[in-house]
Amino acid sequence: MLEDTSFAIRPDQGMNEEKNPFQDIGNAKNISKTENEIKISADNGELAVVFYRDDIVRFVFQPLKEVMLDSSPAIVLAPEKSEVKLNDEKNAFRLEAPKLTVLITKTPIRITVMDSQRRVLFEQKEKGIGFKPTGEVICHSTRNHEDHYYGLGEKTGYLDKRGEKLTMWNTDVYAPHNPETDALYQSHPYFMVLRNGAAQGIHFDNTFKSTFDFRSEADVYSFGAEGGIVDFYVMAGPGPKDVLEQYTALTGRAPIPPKWAIGYHQSRYSYESEQEVRELAAIFKEKEIPLDAVYLDIHYMNGYRVFTFDRERFPEPENLVRDLKEQGIRIIPIVDPGVKEDPEYPIYQEGIYGDHFCKYIEGSLYFGDVWPGNSAFPDFTSSKAREWWGEKHKYYTDLGIEGIWNDMNEPSVFNESKTMDLKVMHNNDGNPKTHRELHNVYGLLMGEATYDGMKKQLGGKRPFLLTRSGFSGVQRYAAVWTGDNRSFWEHLQLSIPMVMNLGLSGIPFAGPDVGGFAHDSNGELLARWSQVGAFTPYFRNHSAIGTLRQEPWSFGEKYEQIIKKYIELRYQWLPQLYTLFAEAWQKGLPVMRPLMLEYPEDENTFNLSDQFMLGNNIIVAPIMQPSAEHRAVYLPEGEWVDYWTDEVYAGGNHHLVHAPLEVLPIFIKKGTVIALGEVRHSTAAADSKRILHYYYQPDSTSTFKMYDDDGTTFAYESGEYCLKTFEIKAMNREISLKISTEGRYEPEWQEVDIILHDAPELTTVDVNGEMKNVEKNTEKTCTIHL
């Protein structure tokens, strides 16, 4: 049955703002309660309140009808039982849960949400919830002048989105990374509010084109959409990390990626033949530059037909995949959604006979012009179509391929609107809806189809999926790259807050095209960008056809050696990164973090957009201007140690740091530990050793956790992992170390060294009650062999 998601006419059919004002929800008429669900009938519709957890509450307003509590594909959390008390007061309804209080005034209906400390999380005064007969909906909340806004997924500009107005509409915009470009490839209708050191989250679960306005009114912010209903979740925090835990409980968490996926990846649009790919791999091997993956862009296909290889350019793809995998290199082919209209093409035939393609309401197929020419598009809102599409990836897995790259999946079409006709009607498993409503989830559902299909076919191995388009929840299936940037210093600068806000939107596995995709890069830019890429969660060098080549050696020996140094550094840091990916899976925390996440009470961090943290104890402050060798670095409270020189810097201060071209400024917090490994040619090489660096802090106790598993399968989900906890006490110029282990996995590495930085003169250290000898290295470091 077709659900009516509009009220009268479409938003583009007339009536200006003055003649068509928003209509208010009106006054409360009566209320009913069942367990943790409350419904209030109003003059102009119905409002439902559902407590999903003690710290998450949902509000749903259906104009002019009774509420239906459906959700978008973003939501995976089901409501838990929660003790909710309803008090019907004279002027308001009061809903009391263990961690939240909701106050709903009756005349008119206005919502206030407070936490257990009476901190206001969401508040409506003069303006509340509204709608238009044309189908548009809007929700307002008061805002405080101390508020700062983060998240909202893939957006350009600075880290803090205060003072901005942002649109959620997945759009293919070529080389779009400019501050005024909005919208981009992804839509994440969620944000975090930071106020006076505490935080709360809002997720607006509406798949129509939506807008978040933190600009237009001084004391009010709003979020609204062109259609659908007002459906939003308030997350209580109280800290930024708590909000991320709550949001990723709601929308899902990223699985731990296969280890090879967090190595170095090389791509170009395009490596156009098997010979070129083999020569590329040979050069990496000859130059001893680590490499884990090579990408095949659209030219590998037969006439751009997905699930094919051009057998003239790639005569033996199975041998190519096998031979490179023996060298520790994976092949990742691109797969777009457009299926060429060709009655002799088996994928097109199956799509027609299986009724898997998008159609108009009258039953005719939708065709759009993309790389193959006139093409049909799978209707990923249909579970039957998703299963079919997933099964088709057996073509790749049979060749030994374990990773897929989804592009053009906004979906992008070569026409004026840049996407599918909004009148196309999606099957949506028997609840048909227009593309106007489901456009933003097309890429998410394609990701689900691809990931689930690959997972079934890989026999227990973890698939890797990279996507350009997505919606809230896409982290369950895919890593995200930020799309077609350019080889400009400004785009390097923009990439840092973009990836940080993606992390704050639940996506820990993200990164830009290193070196820039469009335009011509140069040696200095590629070197500086590779330094950043070595520490972004996703590390891929990618460039466009017709631009200068930008493989690590492309700009001469000077730059090659610097780029090689940082690719090698990436492999040394893989144990630290892998532990952070495990934390993302467990808690929803990003790998690459803005400083405000760790220091939410430090106003110097609130809009700090040109440096970032790895985990909670490492600060990376890249150089992102040409010819620059100095930059100001802000270090928050504590003491911080230069990774390269062991020089100590006082926290709570800005420092002018010297960083010539070969140096990326990195700082480790005193009293903490980092876990490194050895340089390898790929993650397939033997992993024999761990090297822990402890930065001595007198009279302190620090705890560090190091995670590992087989890096290949999902056995970690059932306890096949190794989590080592190191507790280091530095008291009275003595150091003691306690080590405990959790999990059933026996790691490949057995040798562990601990390097002590700036520690007092020691000859022995107590390790689990046994005295271990200390080996002097330099004036500032010594080593314990465990």
Q: What is the DSSP letter of 488?
A: -
User: What CA dihedral angle connects 547, 549, 554 and 560, to 10 degrees?
Assistant: 100
The CA distance from 90 to 107, in Å, is 11
Is the separation of the CB atoms in 593 and 614 below 8 Å?
yes
774 domain-assigned: yes
Catalytic residue among 115, 205, 274, 410: 410
| Residues 311 and 666: beta-carbon distance below 8 Å | no
- Residue of 238, 152, 213 whose CA lies nearest to 506: 152
pLDDT beneath 50, residues of the chain: 1-16
Rounded to whole angstroms, the Cα distance separating 358 from 380 reads: 9
Of the candidates 12, 45, 15, 50, the one whose C-alpha atom is nearest the C-alpha of residue 28 is: 45
Supply the CATH number for residue 776's domain: 2.60.40.1180
Domain hosting residue 742, numbered range: 673-785
Q: Quick check: is 764 in a domain?
A: yes
DSSP annotation of 444 reads H
| Tens digit of each residue's pLDDT (9 = 90 or more) over 694-729 | 999 999 999 999 999 999 999 999 999 999 999 999
* 341 carries an active-site annotation: no
In this prediction, residue 297 carries a pLDDT of 98
Read off the pTM. 0.96
Is residue 484 part of the annotated active site? The answer reads yes
Q: Is residue 75 part of a domain?
A: no
Task: State how far the Cα of 597 lies from the Cα of 447, in Å rounded to an integer.
Answer: 28
Which one of the listed residues 55, 182, 379, 407 is annotated catalytic? 407
**In the chain, count of helices (H) and strands (E)?**
13, 52
Q: Does 366 reside within a domain?
A: no
Catalytic option among 226, 231, 484, 708 = 484
Residue 753 falls inside a structural domain: yes
Any domain includes 238: no
Could you tell me if 767 and 786 are in contact, meaning their C-beta atoms sit under 8 angstroms apart? yes
Give dist(CA 231, CA 59) in Å, integer: 6
Q: Quick one: pLDDT at residue 11?
A: 39
Active site residue 80: no
Asked, as a colleague might, if the bond just before 11 is cis with ω within 30 of 0, I would say: no
> C-alpha distances in angstroms, 415 versus 223, 368, 418?
29, 8, 5
Domain count, the chain: 1
Q: Write down the pLDDT at residue 6.
A: 39
Q: Say if CB 113 and CB 289 are below 8 A apart.
A: no
Q: What pLDDT is stored for residue 18 in this prediction?
A: 58
Residue 734 lies inside a defined structural domain of this protein: yes
Inside any domain, residue 496: no
